[in-house]
Structures are given as structure tokens and as C-alpha cells.
Structure 1
């Protein structure tokens, strides 16, 4: 405390601020420069161990580094499923598809294709896990 009762204001040294701004912008630029993940690479990231079951009509939108997506990916692996992952961090088209369908950019989102050409988008990791367990646990 300073005389007069006020709290002491501490500012970040200028050179430290410049370095933090530099790295923040550098990482943004690196992410923007990285090529979109191919569908084959996206598919490989959600493959379960040997004996995985391919699931028609389901696609997961998200990215592996997201803790909520990791919860869903763990459930997919535990159930022995193979569901393609559309990486919204690396591919702007996948990110735009989520925003267009749900009105927000949060992930994970599971796209469930109906047989008649319609698609249902299921957001929220807990709801996705609940859906997957109820549909595939006994198969």
C-alpha cells in the first residue's frame, strides 16, 4: 500500500509487453499459414484401435486440443467407433459450417445426417457422449 491508502500500480516492462505481443501475433500468423488438414488425416485422428466400426452419417466438428472435444474423442475410442473429425481450428470451411448451422462457433458439434438429405447438429460434449453411448453401447 502506498501512503494515502491506494494500491500500488505495477506496469509490465515495455520490452516484456513487446515480446508478448510479438509471440501472440506470431502464433496467430503461424496458425493462419498452416494448411487445412486433409479429410484422410482428420479421419485418422479419430480412429479407434483395431476392430473400429465405421459409422455412416456422423461427423464430428472440433479439434483434438479442445478439452471438450477430447471428452468426445475419448468416448468414440471407448466405444470402438470410427467417426471423421472435421478440424475447425485448421480448416476455415469446417468452422464456417458450424457457425452457419448452429449460429455459434463453439465445438464440439456432431453432425447427424438423416437418410433424406437433412442434417441435425448436436452441440455440447455431454449431449454428444450421451447420444453416442445410447446409440452404440450395446452394438
Structure 2
């Protein structure tokens, strides 16, 4: 079973690389403002997780330089569990203007949030 999951994961990554979406174009000043806002957002993910790939593709399509954190690494895994309450990916960590941290777990919710905020 583990071998099958590994093979499927590699196929997902291959298809993602081959059929990668084109990022949207923005004016330089607008892109710099968005880049600054995105620095306060991190995506906890597994590299070959299909739902994580879906979120990363949406971020690329929106031209968002999201910081990704591999939740298989112990330090990021602990931060995810301590902050968000569970070891589930994808998870978007959002630092609000007032300093509060929001943890968003569902890929569809994450994509909707990114599209509403940055599209």
C-alpha cells in the first residue's frame, strides 16, 4: 500500500509540473503590495498530497509567493498541532492585522479565501 501511495504521489507531482498553471499578471506596484501581504500567510502541506497540490496550483495561478512548510518536518508538524490543533493538511496559517492567528484547514476554503482576498 505504501508503494502505491508513493507512486501515485510522484504521478501527481509529475502531472502538476507538466500542466502547471500560468500566473496572472499584475502591475509591479500591485504585485509588490500583494507580496507583502502574502508574507503573513504560510501553507502547511505535504509535497504529494493532492489537496495540497490543488492549493499550490491556485496560489500559482493567482501569482502568490506562498511560503510552504512541510508538515512532515518535526518542527513544522509541532507548530501545526500546537497552533491549529490537529495534524491535517493543507492548512493555511493567516496572521491578521491585529496579530491574531487564524488556521484554515479545508482546501476549498483556502482557495476561496485566496481568490476573494487576492484575485
Fold conserved (TM > 0.5)?
yes
Structure 1 portions without partners, runs of 5+: 1-19, 25-47
Alpha-carbon separation, structure 2, partners of 1:120 and 1:128: 11
Alpha-carbon separation, structure 2, partners of 1:128 and 1:111: 10
Structure 1 equivalent of residue 115 of structure 2: 133
Compute the TM-score of the two structures, normalised by the length of structure 1. 0.58
1:50: how far off? 9.7
Work out the number of aligned pairs and report it.
92
Compute the TM-score of the two structures, normalised by the length of structure 2. 0.67
1:56: how far off? 2.6
Higher relative contact order, structure no. (Cα contacts within 8 Å, ≥ 6 residues apart):
2
Moved segments of 4+, more than 4 Å: 48-53
Q: What is the CA deviation profile of residues 61-110 of structure 1, one whole-angstrom value per residue up to 9, with x for unaligned ones?
A: 11221111001000001101101001112x11111111112221110100
Which residue among 84, 88, 94 is the counterpart of 1:106? Answer: 88
Instruction: Assess if the C-alpha contact under 8 Å between 1:69 and 1:107 holds in 2.
Output: yes
Q: RMSD of aligned C-alpha atoms?
A: 2.5
SS, match of residue 111 in structure 1? strand
Structure 2 equivalent of residue 65 of structure 1: 48
Alpha-carbon separation, structure 1, partners of 2:46 and 2:56: 10
Which is richer in helix?
A: 2
SS, match of residue 86 in structure 2? coil
Instruction: Assess if the C-alpha contact under 8 Å between 1:61 and 1:108 holds in 2.
Output: yes
Instruction: Assess if the C-alpha contact under 8 Å between 2:42 and 2:69 holds in 1.
Output: yes
SS, match of residue 82 in structure 1? coil
